[in-house]
Structure 1
Amino acid sequence: MFAALRAEVLTCLRRLLPELPEEALTRVTVEPPRDAAHGDMSTNAAMVVAKIAKVAPPKLAAELSAALLELPMVAEAAPAGPGFVNLRLAESFLLGQLPVVLRAGEAYGDGASGAGVKINVEYVSANPTGPMHVGHCRGAVVGDALANLLGKAGYAVTKEYYINDAGAQVQALGYAAYWRYLEALGTTLTEEEYAEAVPGGLQYRGDYLVPVGAALKETFGDSLAPGAKPAEASLWLTTVREFTVAAMMESIREDLAALGVAQDVFISEAQLVKDGVADRAIAELSAKGLVYEGVLEPPKGKLPEDWEPRPQTLFASTKFGDDVDRPLRKSDGSNTYFANDIGNHADKIARGMQQLVQVWGADHGGYVKRMQAATRALSDGAVPLDVLLCQIVKVMKGGEPVRMSKRAGTYITLRDLIDEVGRDAVRFTMLTRKSDAQMDFDLDRVVEQSRENPVFYVQYAHARCRSVLRQAGEPAPAELAGEEAALATLQDAAELALLRRLIAWPRTVEAAAAAREPHRIAFYLGDLASDFHILWNRGREDATLRFIQAEAPEATRARLALVAATAIVIRSGLAVMGVAPVEEMR
């Protein structure tokens, strides 16, 4: 609808200013006004082209308003401010959109702004060192909903999980799993004695590794530790590490499935390293003159004890907006974590991805610039990388922080959360704040049946819609879409407010996808539910506004069309969020 009116605005401008160059029109927008009292739409057209056209913005805004008033879809057009034009749509045009919703069904809102662009959304990507926790949960929901949103906006989306299965953390995991294996064999070694013998100590002590130790015993017997005594690490570490990572990834996949997340691709860091992807990417950057041997300036503030001004292999990331150039090799000649990450992004580009979006924890904020620099360098600026940072989630109950999980040892697991309140409540609630805002996840609030609980409030609106339609005998949306003559009976302000909200759905999808902000869908559904509940309550106060009236068949059909369209758009929005609609509230 907004795109259609923008096309009309451009047509009017071309007629009013025939000498105006086409490039002057690129900044023209048609958007909802900041204040709904100003109308249904607002355009900046007069303000952005006036200087090029050498016309005073207010004068051009007045001329454009007069031209737009000639359109049958426009009821009011008035200049405002420094060159805006505010528009109010004709009620006949608004009512004509209701059959469009009904005929499209849940595909209403599907857009073409993505234009089939191949976009890779990488999210979760947790180290496979333990069960998924609440922090991972937020990133998983945000990433999954964003991928769904981009798909609805017309992008060709690949959902990806990058497995960080190389480096020190998985080495530590191998040692921890080996301890559980020794326990399963009945070792006489104490945990503290083993921890003292392990490089870096025993880092992962949660009970979740107990079944892994048992599985190692079942698979290998005592061959990795004859007589329940530790063997030389070189004889078992690789085997135990790979076995444990596989077990952890199976558990993570199960956790993701419980959350309703199913990624298309799982990429192993260790496999990319083995295949030489990072080395080839670094060679490619070197061929572009972007890799050199140099000495970095000391970091600002207090120097780390292990810092030394040594020559290093560096990527010239400052040429692409980073603060400093970045090391690619450690002192032992192996790749830095950043170098392996360059390989990850090079792999995505090689697979034909045209845009990259990644969801990271807020603690990775300092890593954004260097990764964006590397991606620009690898793709010669052709492939943008957007990063969404997710702040921490504090789980509360009874006004107090919830105790940590015994199974995980140090944190609240995703399964704990799902078992407590259910998948849909978890997903919806995680999207009620922008990802970079901190969140208190109140276990009491998300299960209470009140307006203060957005999960309940939206689900209740859908359940009420379905109750009305069942009472009416389940009329088919296509049948209701044919009742265009009856729609003129929709005249109450609450009915028209609900209709205006419904037909803003495609614009909401497009804008949320462009901004990479899936939380906007939760906000929209909350507003839509509010509009519907207001209308429901108006019917309780005024019998002439009830949805079903035996003595007013035309008004009944029109209102049933409005109710059916509301249910359709709620389901469409919930599908983006990965939340199942409910048929009735119990």
Structure 2
Amino acid sequence: MNLFTQIRGLVLDALAQMQSEGALPEGLDFANVTVEPPRDPLHGDMATNAAMVLAKPAGKKPRDIAETLAEKLGADERITSAEVAGPGFLNLRLAASVWQSVISTVLRDGTDFGRSDMGQGKTANVEFVSANPTGPLHVGHCRGAVFGDALAGLLQYAGYDVTREYWINDGGAQVDVLARSAYERYREANGLDFEVKEGLYPGDYLLPIGEALKEKFGDSMIDKPESEWLAPFRDFTIDEMMKQIREDLALLGVEMDVWTSERSYYDSGKIEKTLEELKELGLVYRGVLEPPKGKAPPEDWEPREQMLFKATEYGDDVDRPVQKSDGGWTYFAPDLAYHYDKVKRGFDVIIDVFGADHGGYVKRMKAIVAALDHEKRVNFDIKLCQLVKLFKNGEPFKMSKRAGTFITLRDVLEQVGPDVTRFVMLTRRNDAPLDFDFDKVLEQSRENPVFYVQYAHARVMSVLRRAEEAGMDADDAALLNADLSRVDHEAELAVAKKLAEWPRLVEIAARTNEPHRIAFYLYELAGEFHSLWNRGNDVPSLKFLQDGDVATSHAKMALARSVAVVIAAGLGILGVTPAQEMR
């Protein structure tokens, strides 16, 4: 039940009635009429812009429309007041019974309260993490993993059929560097001199790989030329690193539906096949790129004919090379083939989650999908996850993947656990830097949003346990029959009003691909609940359990339980387990 949608329907009915009475002309477009929370809660419960957006096409003054609309809405029993404000905004106050009905709806629907059908019948592909298999996942990958998984969960909650996908970057030059790095560790495992030269991966995480290579190959590869050991060492090391990546993601609670190998595009001829199709469509051609603009060309730059993708026709800055003059594929070629495959798989929504260092990819990737989506039906979005700054003992904790001194995802999980990690990673917008302080994320205070939200859920559970210990029924069936008219204090209704925002919030978050909105909302809901709890310490009638008054206790427990239900639903989207008690 989206209460805002219901009240908008009431507004549209009133506008239609005004048309039938001649107060408004026929043929008006009501698409931009909204009903939403007012900027200042003191102005009312909801506000509509109907008069403002209809005044010009109707040829009337906004306040004239608003006053007539207010009279119509005021006749409905759900509306206690409709007040015109400013040039023609209309502020609405709803009856207490409306907010009380939200509580019973939450209890009836459970964690399905707030689920949307906006994505019904639509499919979505969310590609995220996609880290090079050249080392363990670090805290930067962790943010992308959490964001992507939470976004997928959000879209599922909004009704989409979602595919989580990982693009394995096992086709570029970096995996040859990985193989050479592993070879040095293989020599080390065999008791020989080894040298991790500049440009190789020096991390200790390759020591077990060296031992595993020794176990598999013995010393048979020691005196062989690189041409003989490079490919098998590369394949073996990639497999071992991907096993570790899968394990780390599982510890974080992330499960992929599809794992797609970049190398498979090279080996299977998918790139060639894609380019043949794109030639027929006139999207690739042989040509010469101009030198870089705005500065003198590099000394080694020379004009050369290449196969180019017509990216500039679709919003990119330059046409992108897909094949080098020597016949080899550029890094762009597999990206082109991969996204062509995504489009052909028929997804309605395609989302790429990239790290902050991939900002330069946005235009070219959008150009690919714009060119290949011939029916113009795909909703394509790219989300960049900014850097995570680590702090420990008040000091910055730096990482460098090549230096081998980075903080792995597993390091973080071992110190704070997956639930804390996931929630903290969503306490900022994905495009804003995030400070992750190992001390503060375990703090038990309002300043720690993880604790604050979990504490609210745990408090509700403690109320229900105490009720059962006192011999009261505290299950949802009993609470559904509660007399909710007993929940009438302004502080109690404030909690119910916040609950009513949940379905609307879900749709906004899903429409904008912003799962951080869920975390923000849960913090606000927890704040309303804690405020009510604390007022109960000063006003005994606000306590959730009323001695000797079972009927009132049931009503107040129903409100508390509905808070726990929505918190559990929101945490479920984020992949976080709700706390039953705090220790």
TM-score range, shorter chain: over 0.9
Q: Which residue of 1 aligns with 2:10?
A: 8
The structural deviation recorded for 1:423 is 1.1
Report if aligned partners of 1:208, 1:407 keep a CA contact under 8 Å in 2.
no
Query: Tell me, which stretches of 5 or more residues in structure 2 are unaligned?
Result: none
Distance 1:259 1:318 in 2: 40
Q: Which residue of 2 aligns with 1:349?
A: 343
Distance 2:299 2:33 in 1: 56
Whichever residue aligns with residue 51 of structure 2, its letter is: A
Report if aligned partners of 1:285, 1:377 keep a CA contact under 8 Å in 2.
no
Structure 2 counterpart of 1:242, from 235, 242, 248: 235
Distance 1:112 1:78 in 2: 33
Query: Tell me, which stretches of 5 or more residues in structure 1 are unaligned?
Result: 196-200
Distance 1:53 1:9 in 2: 16
Aligned 1:277-288 pairs, distance under 5 A: 277-288=270-281
Three-state SS of the structure 2 residue aligned to 1:472 is helix
Compare 495-504 and 23-32 and name the one that shifted more: 23-32
Judged with a 3 Å threshold, the aligned counterparts in structure 2 of structure 1 residues 52 and 276 are, in CA distance, closer, same or farther, namely farther
Judged with a 3 Å threshold, the aligned counterparts in structure 2 of structure 1 residues 405 and 273 are, in CA distance, closer, same or farther, namely closer
Distance 2:338 2:81 in 1: 54
Three-state SS of the structure 2 residue aligned to 1:24 is coil
Structure 2 counterpart of 1:35, from 32, 40, 44: 40
The structural deviation recorded for 1:48 is 2.0
Whichever residue aligns with residue 17 of structure 1, its letter is: Q
Whether 2:287 is the aligned partner of 1:294: answer yes
- CA displacement, residues 203-233 of structure 1 (integer Å, 9 cap, x when unaligned): 211111111111122122233x1xx33x222
Aligned 1:317-328 pairs, distance under 5 A: 317-328=311-322
Distance 2:134 2:204 in 1: 12
Structure 1 counterpart of 2:505, from 503, 508, 520: 508
Distance 2:71 2:87 in 1: 17
The structural deviation recorded for 1:487 is 1.0
Whichever residue aligns with residue 474 of structure 2, its letter is: P
Structure 2 counterpart of 1:233, from 205, 226, 233: 226
Aligned 1:240-319 pairs, distance under 5 A: 240-299=233-292, 300-301=294-295, 303-319=297-313
Judged with a 3 Å threshold, the aligned counterparts in structure 2 of structure 1 residues 306 and 439 are, in CA distance, closer, same or farther, namely farther
Compare 3-12 and 121-130 and name the one that shifted more: 3-12
Report if aligned partners of 1:317, 1:326 keep a CA contact under 8 Å in 2.
yes
Distance 1:532 1:320 in 2: 50
Q: Which residue of 2 aligns with 1:190?
A: 194
Judged with a 3 Å threshold, the aligned counterparts in structure 2 of structure 1 residues 531 and 29 are, in CA distance, closer, same or farther, namely same
Q: Which residue of 1 aligns with 2:477?
A: 478
The structural deviation recorded for 1:183 is 1.7
Q: Which residue of 2 aligns with 1:399?
A: 394
Three-state SS of the structure 1 residue aligned to 2:445 is coil
Whether 2:419 is the aligned partner of 1:417: answer no
Q: Which residue of 2 aligns with 1:220?
A: 217
Report if aligned partners of 2:305, 2:325 keep a CA contact under 8 Å in 1.
no
Three-state SS of the structure 2 residue aligned to 1:284 is helix
The structural deviation recorded for 1:585 is 0.8
Name the count of aligned residue pairs. Answer: 572
Aligned 1:121-200 pairs, distance under 5 A: 121-187=126-192, 189-191=193-195, 195=197
Distance 2:266 2:259 in 1: 15
* % identity of equivalent residues: 53
Structure 1 counterpart of 2:560, from 560, 563, 566: 563
Judged with a 3 Å threshold, the aligned counterparts in structure 2 of structure 1 residues 408 and 472 are, in CA distance, closer, same or farther, namely farther
Whichever residue aligns with residue 155 of structure 2, its letter is: L
Alignment TM-score, normalising by the size of structure 2: 0.94
Judged with a 3 Å threshold, the aligned counterparts in structure 2 of structure 1 residues 289 and 7 are, in CA distance, closer, same or farther, namely same
Judged with a 3 Å threshold, the aligned counterparts in structure 2 of structure 1 residues 282 and 51 are, in CA distance, closer, same or farther, namely farther
Q: Which residue of 2 aligns with 1:382?
A: 377
Q: Which residue of 1 aligns with 2:431?
A: 436
Aligned 1:324-339 pairs, distance under 5 A: 324-339=318-333
Distance 2:314 2:424 in 1: 37
Q: Which residue of 2 aligns with 1:198?
A: none
Whichever residue aligns with residue 565 of structure 1, its letter is: S
Structure 2 counterpart of 1:446, from 432, 441, 448: 441
Compare 276-285 and 84-93 and name the one that shifted more: 276-285
Whichever residue aligns with residue 190 of structure 1, its letter is: F
Alignment TM-score, normalising by the size of structure 1: 0.94
Whichever residue aligns with residue 275 of structure 2, its letter is: I
Distance 1:207 1:217 in 2: 16
Structure 1 counterpart of 2:358, from 358, 361, 364: 364
The structural deviation recorded for 1:10 is 1.8
Judged with a 3 Å threshold, the aligned counterparts in structure 2 of structure 1 residues 49 and 250 are, in CA distance, closer, same or farther, namely same
The structural deviation recorded for 1:354 is 1.3
The structural deviation recorded for 1:493 is 1.2
Give the superposed CA RMSD: 1.9
Report if aligned partners of 1:208, 1:408 keep a CA contact under 8 Å in 2.
no
The structural deviation recorded for 1:23 is 7.2
Whether 2:501 is the aligned partner of 1:499: answer no
Judged with a 3 Å threshold, the aligned counterparts in structure 2 of structure 1 residues 279 and 101 are, in CA distance, closer, same or farther, namely same
Q: Which residue of 1 aligns with 2:521?
A: 524
